[in-house]
């Protein structure tokens, strides 16, 4: 979209404002002196009239000045936002009745503030922003001077503001073209602030607007918000920004859309006991002789979008390092965390990553420094502000003595993701939110590339991406409530729905064919980034670059035409291969069919189809043939593959290179299952890596869709006792936990748990339990990582599904810890042991874990201790935990959602969490509703395993009464629960019948 794009509509309920004072002035011709007959009484009357007019004017001016001051309120709320801080005190009075009488002249026809997008007539070039931060009462005041370039002649300056008190009249700052301000007012419905001028601004000329304002440092997680922590029993506070996607307007008047890039000069004034940080280094620092406050002026930024501007005021300490190219990297955190070395790991890998990405993308990092800020609470895992990336503590602080391998991996990938954003996002930014996947999708893909660079033994790029990301996204994208990767975003409330897992997958790009992926990456490393650096890009820009790269390699492929089918329509296909049974065609032909994959088969969209790159291999019990590639363009096609007999199996989508699911005729499924049971290693030879097994096992996740008889996925799982590798077990366990939550309240649940334990037992006993070797420092970065993770996966499965020996070992560890007050539990399995112990042991153990949660300073340890408390079978304790989480400061605010979700995952707590969620919805929605991801995470987590008719009806009633403001999360939850109920009605009996008498392999 260009600068002039705008869309009609409204974001919130609210009334606009117009000018009540815009009266026409009638100018009469002058009368010459000789035509006037003067009478003394007339003169006296005229003098009295003039005197009265002067007095009335003086009173009006005084009243006007009073209302121009900050804090002026429209008590009737006619022009402001009812019940909240408006966009400006004086502006509320300007035009509070204007909406009733209407605008006159040009304003009656042209009111750009009513559009959902900024008009595009003006473009900001530079912001000079000065702020004074008052941490004693959590307020701040500021003044912003915006250098504006006029693109098209206009009388209106339209900015974004939200919850700001505009002080007095905006002014025309010297240094730009002259402009006279006629009036100014907020338009809360679209979070805009309007300055109306007497005359039009001229194109190509530069103007400067100055606006003063003040606001609160809110106790929420967006805009400029406050947080706190305890150090030596003293409560300390900090304040930090979170502007993505549309919350810079909460901190200063601005053009808060990503396409309006500008440079920023920031000055922060605050109490000297605090440190201030921003995107750029401090350029100058002054200490006031009058009040002792410090004023830090930061260097001018490169051109960037408003949502990447950031600052923080805190009393943290830091450690630093420097890259070979001279970039200073600092990690800021609580003083005790820095002293303990909890930030050292993230600092170390950040230094390596900056060098790696500079070489990989062939574009230097653009700023002289990069600060990593670890804050106690944050709405996301992290935010990639350019030069000042902000992380929640759990995603950047690592306590080596107590952190598990899984925790370290998760932390690593968050850091890798945010560092990648310094190029994809900060340097090159999407034009508009409909293409947010241009930054999130690439960052999510490159986090596996970057992690693979750091730790090749983890095999992240080739394998964990499939199990931990791709299959999770396919679960969401297989719903009728899904949406296209690129989707229209018209207003601010629509932005929430594009920030989910679906936009983090790049369809076929994220897993392309063979050497084409290297061609794509070469293009991205050079042309794409260099062409759009310090600017914006849309999906067409990427497709054009990729098409050019294809043509230069002699490949005449319309990338845009192909990719639009993947990005502009929802969902993905299930591709079914069938051996041709027709007598008219020989046996070396296959029929390939594609259809829209959906969990709810009744609502399939038969009009959707994709251009599918399908790789196929054929094999039998002893050999695997060569791989071939065919393109599927239609709903049904016939293709020649090669000679096949009754013992030849087919395997499609090798290594999951395409974003679609595979299905086969039942005979082919039978051959694949036999291959896995009898000699599964053949499937791993030559081209067929272990990702092939992941692909087969992933179909278990779609069991609820009913594409297969229930026994087929269970027979696939039955090969696991022969499997010695971590990733197939990891993929299978994710699928089994999904089934477990679907079945864990059924009368015949033991049939399922016994079947799982039968598959796990042999490998679990072979692998045993880890030992806590002194001096190992919990370091899992060695070659034994895959072995350690397999051991952990098997222990988790064994304990979760009721293996008695696993339970005894966990209880023994907890008992030893309580009696000796020494935690000898190996870090890699602490979460499993804690949860198992709490579920099996008495209330004293719960109290012991609760005490340890409060006394521990290690953020990773606190996380798993808190989650362990949700594993109790005691309803009283679960209810107590829920209430303490929401009504006290004993549980960190960002962890409350996890507590409710984990109680809901406990079969004993599911009804409790669901009831608690509904009763506290107003409180929860008020606290988290505006924070992207958090509300959606809460709704999905509490509802995804509801599966009875009664629970479905309760969900429908809840949506009917309270669905406003929840975005797409509630419709998605409804579809999932309907699918759960449908599966129980249609397939549960068949499922348990198979378990009672499974066929021999």
pLDDT at 70: 47
What is the pLDDT averaged over residues 427-438?
A: 84
User: Contact 539/567 with Cβ under 8 angstroms?
Assistant: yes
Residues 6+ apart with CB under 8 A from 479: 598, 599, 600, 972, 975, 976
Q: In terms of domains, do 562 and 484 share one?
A: yes
Q: Has residue 17 got a pLDDT over 90? A: no
Judging by DSSP bridges, how do beta strands 263-270 and 122-134 pair with one another?
parallel
pLDDT at 648: 87
Highest mean pLDDT among 239-248, 475-484, 620-629, 887-896 belongs to 239-248
Q: In terms of domains, do 621 and 728 share one?
A: no
In a domain, 44, yes or no: no
Q: Where is average pLDDT lowest: 619-628, 647-656, 826-835, 902-911?
A: 619-628
Q: In terms of domains, do 792 and 808 share one?
A: no
In a domain, 21, yes or no: no
In a domain, 326, yes or no: no
Q: In terms of domains, do 469 and 445 share one?
A: yes
pLDDT tens by residue, 46-82: 444 444 444 444 444 444 444 344 443 333 333 333 3
Q: Where is average pLDDT lowest: 298-302, 457-461, 517-521, 697-701?
A: 517-521
Sign of CA dihedral 882, 499, 382, 398: positive
Mean pLDDT over each residue of the chain, to the nearest integer: 80
Q: Where is average pLDDT lowest: 92-101, 332-341, 675-684, 766-775?
A: 92-101
Q: In terms of domains, do 741 and 864 share one?
A: no
Q: Where is average pLDDT lowest: 276-280, 781-785, 997-1001?
A: 781-785
CATH number (domain holding residue 694): 2.60.40.1910
pLDDT at 381: 87
Retrieve residue 938's tokens. Answer: 């809460």
pLDDT at 628: 85
Burial class (CB in 10 A: 0-12, 13-18, 19+), 325: exposed
pTM greater than 0.95: no
Q: In terms of domains, do 623 and 765 share one?
A: no
Q: Where is average pLDDT lowest: 520-529, 634-643, 857-866, 909-918?
A: 520-529
- Catalytic-role residue among 418, 434, 893, 978: 418
Residue that is written with structure tokens 């990092």 in the block = 365
pLDDT at 41: 47
Full DSSP string of 796-818: HHHHHTT-HHHHHHHHHHHHHHH
In a domain, 93, yes or no: no
Retrieve residue 743's tokens. Answer: 């079945």
Q: What is the strand order of the sheet 311-314 is part of?
A: 223-231, 234-242, 311-314, 275-278
pLDDT tens by residue, 204-245: 999 999 999 999 999 888 999 999 998 888 899 999 999 999
pLDDT at 1001: 58
Q: Determine the 3-state secondary structure of 614 from DSSP.
A: strand
Which residue numbers belong to the known binding site?
417, 421, 440
pLDDT tens by residue, 852-877: 999 998 899 999 999 999 999 999 99
Question: Which residue blocks in 277-343 are alpha helix, DSSP H?
Answer: 335-340
What is the pLDDT averaged over residues 5-15?
A: 34
pLDDT tens by residue, 783-837: 467 788 899 999 999 999 999 999 999 999 999 999 999 999 999 999 999 999 9
Q: In terms of domains, do 208 and 167 share one?
A: yes
CATH number (domain holding residue 280): 2.60.40.1730
Q: What is the strand order of the sheet 317-322 is part of?
A: 317-322, 328-333, 369-375, 388-392, 382-383
Domain that holds residue 847: 803-870
Domain boundary among 296, 315, 334: 315
Packing angle of the helix pair 691-698, 666-679 (nearest 10 deg): 130
Q: What is the strand order of the sheet 661-664 is part of?
A: 636-640, 589-596, 573-579, 661-664
Residues in the chain: 1001
User: Contact 597/543 with Cβ under 8 angstroms?
Assistant: no
What is the pLDDT averaged over residues 721-726?
A: 84
| Catalytic residue status for 418 | yes
Q: Has residue 343 got a pLDDT over 80? A: yes
Highest mean pLDDT among 84-88, 428-432, 806-810 belongs to 806-810
In a domain, 329, yes or no: no
Q: In terms of domains, do 619 and 653 share one?
A: yes
Q: Where is average pLDDT lowest: 17-26, 185-194, 455-464?
A: 17-26
Residue that is written with structure tokens 């829209």 in the block = 596
pLDDT at 93: 31
Sign of CA dihedral 287, 290, 293, 295: negative
Q: Has residue 475 got a pLDDT over 90? A: no
* Residue 624 DSSP one-character state: B
pLDDT at 5: 37
What is the pLDDT averaged over residues 143-172?
A: 94
Judging by DSSP bridges, how do beta strands 388-392 and 428-430 pair with one another?
unpaired
What is the pLDDT averaged over residues 305-327?
A: 96
pLDDT at 565: 66
Q: In terms of domains, do 518 and 602 share one?
A: no
Report d(CA 855, CA 918) in Å as an integer: 32
Q: In terms of domains, do 623 and 668 share one?
A: yes
What are the percentages of helix, strand and coil residues in the chain, rounded to 5? Answer: 45, 20, 35
Distances in whole angstroms, Cα of residue 864 to Cα of each of 233, 402, 850, 927: 23, 11, 11, 24
User: Contact 288/295 with Cβ under 8 angstroms?
Assistant: yes
Which residue numbers belong to the known binding site for Zn(2+)?
417, 421, 440
pLDDT at 979: 87
Q: Where is average pLDDT lowest: 139-148, 615-624, 663-672?
A: 615-624
Domain boundary among 281, 315, 349: 315
- Per DSSP, what are the bridge partners of residue 639? 590
Report d(CA 958, CA 752) in Å as an integer: 32
Full DSSP string of 427-471: TEEESSGGGTHHHHHHHHHHHHHHHHHH-GGG-IIIIIHIIIIIH
pLDDT at 459: 67
What is the pLDDT averaged over residues 890-908?
A: 91
Residues 6+ apart with CB under 8 A from 788: 405, 770, 780, 828
In a domain, 413, yes or no: no
Structural domain total, the chain: 6
Q: Give φ, ψ of 140 to 5 degrees.
A: -150, 150
Q: In terms of domains, do 974 and 830 share one?
A: no
Report d(CA 768, CA 646) in Å as an integer: 42
What is the pLDDT averaged over residues 771-786?
A: 53
Q: Where is average pLDDT lowest: 18-22, 267-271, 451-455, 994-998?
A: 18-22
Report d(CA 719, CA 677) in Å as an integer: 5
Burial class (CB in 10 A: 0-12, 13-18, 19+), 397: buried
pLDDT tens by residue, 163-187: 999 998 888 877 777 889 999 999 9
In a domain, 320, yes or no: no
Q: Residue 966: which pLDDT band, with cuts at 50, 70 and 90? A: low
In a domain, 69, yes or no: no
Q: In terms of domains, do 732 and 837 share one?
A: no
């Amino acid at each position: 979209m260009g600068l002039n794009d705008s869309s009609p509509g409204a974001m919130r309920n609210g009334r606009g404002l117009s000018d009540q004072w815009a009266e026409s002035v009638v100018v009469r011709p002058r009368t010459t002196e000789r035509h006037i007959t003067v009478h003394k009484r007339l003169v006296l009357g005229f003098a009295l009239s003039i005197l009265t007019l002067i007095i009335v004017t003086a009173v009006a001016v005084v009243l006007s000045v009073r209302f121009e001051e900050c804090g002026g309120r429209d008590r009737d709320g006619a022009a402001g936002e009812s019940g909240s801080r408006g966009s400006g005190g004086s502006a509320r009075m300007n035009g509070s009745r204007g909406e009733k009488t209407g605008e006159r002249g040009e304003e009656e026809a042209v009111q750009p503030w009513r559009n959902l997008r900024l008009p595009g007539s003006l473009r900001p070039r530079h912001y000079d922003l000065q702020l004074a931060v008052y941490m004693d009462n959590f307020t701040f005041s500021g003044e912003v001077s915006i250098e504006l370039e006029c693109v098209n002649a206009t009388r209106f300056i339209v900015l974004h503001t939200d919850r700001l008190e505009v002080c007095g009249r905006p002014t025309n700052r010297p240094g730009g073209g002259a402009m006279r301000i006629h009036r100014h007012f907020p338009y809360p419905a679209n979070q805009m602030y309007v300055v109306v001028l007497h005359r039009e601004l001229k194109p190509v000329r530069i103007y400067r607007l100055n606006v003063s304002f003040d606001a609160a440092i809110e106790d929420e997680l967006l805009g400029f918000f406050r947080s706190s922590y305890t150090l030596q029993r003293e409560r300390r506070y900090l304040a930090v920004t979170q502007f993505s996607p549309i919350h810079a307007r909460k901190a200063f008047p601005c053009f808060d859309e990503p396409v309006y890039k500008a440079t920023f000069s920031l000055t922060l004034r605050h109490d000297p006991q605090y440190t201030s940080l921003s995107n750029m280094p401090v350029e100058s620092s002054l200490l006031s002789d009058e009040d002792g406050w410090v004023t830090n002026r930061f260097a001018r930024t490169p051109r960037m979008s408003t949502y990447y501007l950031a600052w923080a005021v805190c009393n943290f300490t830091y450690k630093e390092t420097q890259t070979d190219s001279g970039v200073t990297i600092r990690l800021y955190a609580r003083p005790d965390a820095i002293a303990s070395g909890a930030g050292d790991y993230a600092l170390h890998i950040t230094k390596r990553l900056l060098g790696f990405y500079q070489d990989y993308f062939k574009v230097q990092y653009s700023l002289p420094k990069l600060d990593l800020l670890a804050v106690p609470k944050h709405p996301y895992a992290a935010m990639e502000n350019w030069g000042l990336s902000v992380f929640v503590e759990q995603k950047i602080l690592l306590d080596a003595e107590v952190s598990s391998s899984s925790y370290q991996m998760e932390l690593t990938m968050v850091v890798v993701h945010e560092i990648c954003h310094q190029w994809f996002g900060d340097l090159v930014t999407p034009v508009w939110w409909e293409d947010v996947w241009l930054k999130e999708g690439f960052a999510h893909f490159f986090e596996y590339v970057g992690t693979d660079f750091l730790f090749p033994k983890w095999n992240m790029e080739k394998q964990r991406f499939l199990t931990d990301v791709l299959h999770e996204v396919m679960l969401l994208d297989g719903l009728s409530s899904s949406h296209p990767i690129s989707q229209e975003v018209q207003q601010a409330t629509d932005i929430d729905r594009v920030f989910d897992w679906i936009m983090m997958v790049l369809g076929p790009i994220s897993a392309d064919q063979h050497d084409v992926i290297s061609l794509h990456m070469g293009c991205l490393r050079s042309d794409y980034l260099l062409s759009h650096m310090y600017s914006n890009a849309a999906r067409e820009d990427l497709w054009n670059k990729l098409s050019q790269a294809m043509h230069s390699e002699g490949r005449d492929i319309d990338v845009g035409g192909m990719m639009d089918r993947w990005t502009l329509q929802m969902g993905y296909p299930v591709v079914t291969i069938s051996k041709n049974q027709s007598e008219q065609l020989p046996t070396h032909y296959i029929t390939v069919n594609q259809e829209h994959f959906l969990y709810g088969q009744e609502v399939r969209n038969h009009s959707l189809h994709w251009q599918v790159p399908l790789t196929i291999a054929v094999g039998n019990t002893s050999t695997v043939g060569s791989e071939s590639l065919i393109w599927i363009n239609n709903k049904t096609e016939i293709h020649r593959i090669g000679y096949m007999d009754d013992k030849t199996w087919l395997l499609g989508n090798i290594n999951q290179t395409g974003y679609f699911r595979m299905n086969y005729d039942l005979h082919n499924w039978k051959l694949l299952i036999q291959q896995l049971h009898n000699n599964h290693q053949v499937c791993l030879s030559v081209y067929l890596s272990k990702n092939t097994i992941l692909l087969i096992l992933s179909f278990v996740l779609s069991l609820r869709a009913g594409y297969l008889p229930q026994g087929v996925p269970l027979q696939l799982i039955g090969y696991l006792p022969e499997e010695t590798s971590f990733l197939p077990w990891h993929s299978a366990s994710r699928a089994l936990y999904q089934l477990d939550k679907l079945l864990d309240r059924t009368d015949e649940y033991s049939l399922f748990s016994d079947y799982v334990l039968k598959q796990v037992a042999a490998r679990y006993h072979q692998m045993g339990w880890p030992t806590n070797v002194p001096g190992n420092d919990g370091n899992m970065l060695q070659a034994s990582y895959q072995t350690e993770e397999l051991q952990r996966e098997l222990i988790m499965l064994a304990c979760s599904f009721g293996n008695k020996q696993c339970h005894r070992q966990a209880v023994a560890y907890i008992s030893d810890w309580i009696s000796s007050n020494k935690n000898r539990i190996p870090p890699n399995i602490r979460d499993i042991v804690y949860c198992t112990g709490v579920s099996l042991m008495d209330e004293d153990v719960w109290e012991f874990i609760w005490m340890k949660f409060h006394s521990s300073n290690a953020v990773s340890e606190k996380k798993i201790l808190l989650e362990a408390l949700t594993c109790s079978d005691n309803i009283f304790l679960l209810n107590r935990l829920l209430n303490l989480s929401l009504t006290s400061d004993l549980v960190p605010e960002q962890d409350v959602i996890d507590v409710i979700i984990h109680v809901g995952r406990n079969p004993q707590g599911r009804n409790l969490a669901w009831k608690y969620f509904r009763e506290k919805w107003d409180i929860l929605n008020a606290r988290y509703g505006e924070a992207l991801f958090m509300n959606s995470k809460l709704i999905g987590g509490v509802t995804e395993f509801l599966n009875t008719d009664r629970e479905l009806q309760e969900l429908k009633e809840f949506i009917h009464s309270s669905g406003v403001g929840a975005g797409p999360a509630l419709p998605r939850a409804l579809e999932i629960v309907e699918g759960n109920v449908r599966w129980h009605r249609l397939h549960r009996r068949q499922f348990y019948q198979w378990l009672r008498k499974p066929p021999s392999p």
